[in-house]
Structure 1
Amino acid sequence: MFSHSRVLCPDLQQKIMTADQAADFIHDGDTVGMSGFTGAGYPKALPAALVNKAQMERDLRKTFKINLWTGASTAPELDGVMADAHEINLRLPYQSDPICREQINSGQMHYIDLHLSEVSQYAWSGFLGELNVAVIEVAGIHEDGRIIPSSSVGNNKTWVEQADKVILEVNSQQSLKLEGMHDIYYGTALPPHRKPILLNEPADRIGSQYLEIPKEKIVAIVETSAPDRNSPFSSPDAVSEQIAANILEFFEHEIKRGRLPANLLPLQSGVGNIPNAVLSGLDRGGYKNLTAFTEVIQDGMLQMLKSGTLSVASATAFSLSPDALKELNENIDFYREKIILRQQDISNNPEIARRLGIIAMNGLIEADIYGNVNSTHIMGTRMMNGIGGSGDFARNGYLSIFMTPSTAKNGAISAIVPMVSHVDHTEHDVKVIVTEQGLADLRGLSPRQRAKVVINNCAHPDFKEQLLDYHERACASGRGMHTPHLLSEALSWHERYEQTGSMRLA
């Protein structure tokens, strides 16, 4: 079927050009929506071409900056090189690049941190302004114009619908056997025309295998051959393993109490070593026919699918180590029957998450004694990465679990504090907090009851007495007994760290 070129549509073959030529369709001040989600399926050639263009414009004493929208984080070849060239004026909805982060926190780059499920709605409603160009990586184009999506879907459907012009990167490094893995739903609408989404199980397919783009919108096609940027996961350390053990013990307890079925409920998991440790523990725990309705397929889920622990995984992208990517490509016929890649306004849809009863497992930066969670800001002001999809699932999941080591910076920072310095997930949405010290089940508890459980079960011993002392004095202050706080001290732990390098009392 596909020979050397993966662009088989005659009408589109004439639009094949170099990345530098395609970059001429993007102008200073444009808003550009690019594909990419957690280092998968992002453009590989256009970002570097845009850096070259920016330098040429500056040589002519002209400016060149764009507003950049994606699905989520991308890779150094996109976020990194463009930020390093000071080419991004505004970025949304999520990033994890250190150069982007530095420019966001120094005020050189505007950043809008959005719930990932809402990005499409924002774009369609016009809240974000006009989208000039979409740059989308795909795996191939059939003779009749059907377009095979790449290793992530993200916001690609919305970008190509909203953009005035579309540039495609056809990447021969992406397996053609991805064809059939995608499920792109074309039934979304804005209120008051929104209809129920008839997705009742993670395995349900409700859309198309292909990305639909009018040929007249496609102004350029660039052929590439470059792999996704995949970083290896380090082996879980003792802290990650203990956090995982605490969660697995909790699941067993909930099954015995009849509050979870034997095959649990659909799993959503953030990315990283702790979530992978949890997934590995589930894989060893004798579970069968689990399901996942999540954002990202990572190493642990691939192994669970291979072993039969997991029967199906629905997501919007991959986030695999090099070894796991090799496993996927070598056995893709097997995985294609068990993995469904959807656009992120479906993979993260709050109504679906609520209806399916998702078990949401996400990381945090800090939690306070009453159960509020900060997952985005360091010391209250400095953006780390963004809220991503954690809020989509935390508020709407049957169980919202937040997990973290109890300390950071070699023990200088406590992950459990009197008051979080920034709130992403309120006490009303956080049901379980887990550290290597233990697990706090906050369901059915008042604020003062939650404080005792969080401190006693989750705080590191080096900070437990400090926290108990704070709470006791706050309760005795007479300022209010529903959620007792000492306002002069509530954020003093953060202030102490910035002044002394430690949250510990001298």
Structure 2
Amino acid sequence: MSERIANATHRQKLMSAEDAAALINDGDQIGFGGFTGSGYPKALPGALAKRIKESHDRGEKFTVNVFTGASTAPELDGALASVDGIGWRMPYQSDPQMRNKINDGTSFYTDIHLSEAGMMVREGFFGNIDFAIIEAAKITEDGHIIPTSSIGNNNVWVEKADKVIVEVNSWQSEDLEGMHDIYYGFALPPNRVPIPITHPGDRIGEKYLRIPQNKVVAVVETSDPDRNTPFKPIDDDSRKIAGYLLDFYDNEVKQGRMPKNLLPLQSGVGNIPNAVLDGLLHSDLEHLTSYTEVIQDGMIDLIDAGKLDVASATAFSLSPEYAHKMNENAAFYREHIILRPQEISNHPEAIRRLGVVGANGMIEADIYGNVNSTHVMGSRMMNGIGGSGDFTRNAYISAFVSPSTAKNGDISAIVPMVSHVDHTEHDGMVIITEQGIADLRGLAPRQRAPKIIENCAHPDYRPMLMDYYERALRDCKFKHTPHLLSEAYSWHTRFLETGTMKMN
């Protein structure tokens, strides 16, 4: 590892993960690196979890507050949550154990737009950051930190933390050096200046993280891979949804509202986005660009095929096969991929200026276009809002996609009123399920409802939805957005009581 830690001062701070974890105390606030299972510290969280459990076994209180870029992995969120070690967490998570601790009340969770998390920490809204714990591909001779497969909020953590612990991971490719673009032009209001990005491929920062050497208190060596989860095979519903979205893009081009190579693309993670990317791969489109959060397998295929000129993001979210390909060919891919801090990748100013075209997943939408992307049955947190709000509110065109049903048809994704609102009817423009597409632009609420019901709802639920809407229109005194408040959540109540939203 000596070639990975070229700075003599940092080499003198080498220690085990256990010794580094011993520096952390009850109540400390920790900014962990990591975003969608990429670039998170691998060794220290487990060592810290062991220390916390030993303290609990002695009857001592020991929890830490956890700041991240987004979701991490079982080795971080899962390890700390399993020992009741997280008192509070932000801004996004997806680990099953962490989710359970949030939902049973063990841990507090603040769900924040990803673009705003760094700014709030810089402003001091959450108090002092005691430690930043980040992953590096290498430390240069002059002490600069070369990030790995994500940046997320790492630049904020190392700037604001009192102390920094660096894990140098030899699994990560050294050829990632040069892929990153760390912007240091931020100032807090009222001293902010425009972000100088006018194209997804613009580089506006530096290739490394600046960290004062006296802040670094420990360096730990690791060689463990990222959490790279294989993507499920693309199913028929995902292909149908992707087909509707691609047809919609094609029509926007024909109407003169987008150029032939589209506008910079953004998408969430999962089967449907990969189906969209697969559709683009087999289309005649060329010179595509992307300004998004994460680089997925489908984007790598588009780069390989010469169809995607540049992709700007803050992290990878790759399958094991594609993570290996990235490590083997990082010197090639860094010519086409830029990894930025998430306060840039998700910044409303850049999204609006570039005219990003966004597509994100949802749990449910109601007949007027409000969208719930975080809570099942109104109370049970799934993952968090992530960056979907950043892109939905500010994109040139924003779509929400989902299968029309869940739980083998017992849950409808189209309901009379969403049980939790993350994205209001004012933000989303298009809703797509495998049943069809509802373009809501320019429509009043009473024009939206029939279109969403007829085009997006599953046939098993379509008559029930239309019956609700027609009775609301008839019986509600005020006609702009008619609702039967006594029935608006009856579908969710019925599911909780009977296991299905269907009426017997």
Q: Secondary structure at the match of 2:420?
A: coil
Please tell me whether the aligned partners of residues 172 and 327 of structure 2 are also in contact (alpha carbons under 8 angstroms). no
Q: Secondary structure at the match of 2:185?
A: coil
Alpha-carbon distance change, 478 to 17 in structure 1, aligned in 2, over 3 angstroms: closer
Residue equivalent to 2:387? 389
Q: Secondary structure at the match of 1:132?
A: strand
In structure 2, the gaps of 5 or more residues are none
Find 1:467's aligned residue among 457, 465, 468: 465
Q: Secondary structure at the match of 1:134?
A: strand
Aligned CA RMSD, in angstroms, stands at: 0.8
Residue equivalent to 1:136? 134
Counterpart AA for 1:89: G
Residue equivalent to 1:186? 184
CA shift for structure 1 position 59: 3.7
Task: Provide the identity percentage.
Answer: 61
CA shift for structure 1 position 51: 1.3
Match runs of 1:158-177 below 5 Å: 158-177=156-175
User: C-alpha distance in 1, partners of 2:273/2:456?
Assistant: 18
2:269 paired with 1:285: no
User: C-alpha distance in 1, partners of 2:482/2:165?
Assistant: 56
User: C-alpha distance in 1, partners of 2:328/2:58?
Assistant: 49
CA shift for structure 1 position 478: 3.5
User: C-alpha distance in 1, partners of 2:476/2:244?
Assistant: 36
CA shift for structure 1 position 5: 4.6
CA shift for structure 1 position 220: 0.4
Please tell me whether the aligned partners of residues 476 and 484 of structure 2 are also in contact (alpha carbons under 8 angstroms). no
User: C-alpha distance in 2, partners of 1:225/1:478?
Assistant: 63
CA shift for structure 1 position 355: 0.8
Counterpart AA for 1:358: V
User: C-alpha distance in 2, partners of 1:13/1:414?
Assistant: 57
Counterpart AA for 1:151: S
1:160-184 superposed Cα distances (whole Å, 9 cap, x missing partner): 0110000000000000000000000
Please tell me whether the aligned partners of residues 46 and 79 of structure 2 are also in contact (alpha carbons under 8 angstroms). yes
1:89-140 superposed Cα distances (whole Å, 9 cap, x missing partner): 0011000011111110111110000000000111011111111100010100
User: C-alpha distance in 2, partners of 1:12/1:322?
Assistant: 31
Find 2:79's aligned residue among 81, 85, 90: 81
User: C-alpha distance in 2, partners of 1:38/1:55?
Assistant: 26
CA shift for structure 1 position 4: 4.4
Q: Secondary structure at the match of 2:137?
A: strand
User: C-alpha distance in 2, partners of 1:112/1:260?
Assistant: 37
Q: Which range moves more in the overlay, 304-313 or 433-442?
A: 304-313
CA shift for structure 1 position 505: 1.1
Residue equivalent to 2:109? 111
Residue equivalent to 1:334? 332
User: C-alpha distance in 1, partners of 2:294/2:59?
Assistant: 42
Residue equivalent to 1:364? 362
Residue equivalent to 2:206? 208
Match runs of 1:5-404 below 5 Å: 5-404=3-402
Q: Which range moves more in the overlay, 44-53 or 425-434?
A: 44-53
1:138-163 superposed Cα distances (whole Å, 9 cap, x missing partner): 10011111211111000000000110
User: C-alpha distance in 2, partners of 1:476/1:61?
Assistant: 62
User: C-alpha distance in 2, partners of 1:222/1:504?
Assistant: 55
1:25-62 superposed Cα distances (whole Å, 9 cap, x missing partner): 11001000000000000000001110121123234332
Q: Secondary structure at the match of 1:394?
A: helix
Q: Which range moves more in the overlay, 381-390 or 247-256?
A: 247-256
TM-score when scaled to structure 1?
0.99
Q: Secondary structure at the match of 1:219?
A: strand
User: C-alpha distance in 2, partners of 1:496/1:273?
Assistant: 29
Counterpart AA for 1:447: P
User: C-alpha distance in 1, partners of 2:377/2:361?
Assistant: 16
Q: Which range moves more in the overlay, 23-32 or 312-321?
A: 23-32
User: C-alpha distance in 1, partners of 2:295/2:201?
Assistant: 14
CA shift for structure 1 position 456: 0.6
Q: Which range moves more in the overlay, 143-152 or 177-186?
A: 143-152
1:437-461 superposed Cα distances (whole Å, 9 cap, x missing partner): 0000000100010001100100000
**Divergent runs of 4+, >3 A:** none
Q: Secondary structure at the match of 1:33?
A: strand
Please tell me whether the aligned partners of residues 13 and 218 of structure 2 are also in contact (alpha carbons under 8 angstroms). yes
Q: Secondary structure at the match of 2:51?
A: helix
User: C-alpha distance in 2, partners of 1:259/1:369?
Assistant: 27
Match runs of 1:431-442 below 5 Å: 431-442=429-440
Match runs of 1:415-430 below 5 Å: 415-430=413-428
1:371-407 superposed Cα distances (whole Å, 9 cap, x missing partner): 0000000000110000000000000000001000000
TM-score when scaled to structure 2?
0.99
Please tell me whether the aligned partners of residues 32 and 67 of structure 2 are also in contact (alpha carbons under 8 angstroms). yes
Q: Secondary structure at the match of 1:462?
A: coil
User: C-alpha distance in 2, partners of 1:99/1:17?
Assistant: 29
Q: Secondary structure at the match of 1:164?
A: strand
Q: Which range moves more in the overlay, 46-55 or 408-417?
A: 46-55
Counterpart AA for 1:172: S
CA shift for structure 1 position 470: 0.5
User: C-alpha distance in 1, partners of 2:404/2:419?
Assistant: 16
In structure 1, the gaps of 5 or more residues are none
User: C-alpha distance in 2, partners of 1:329/1:212?
Assistant: 24
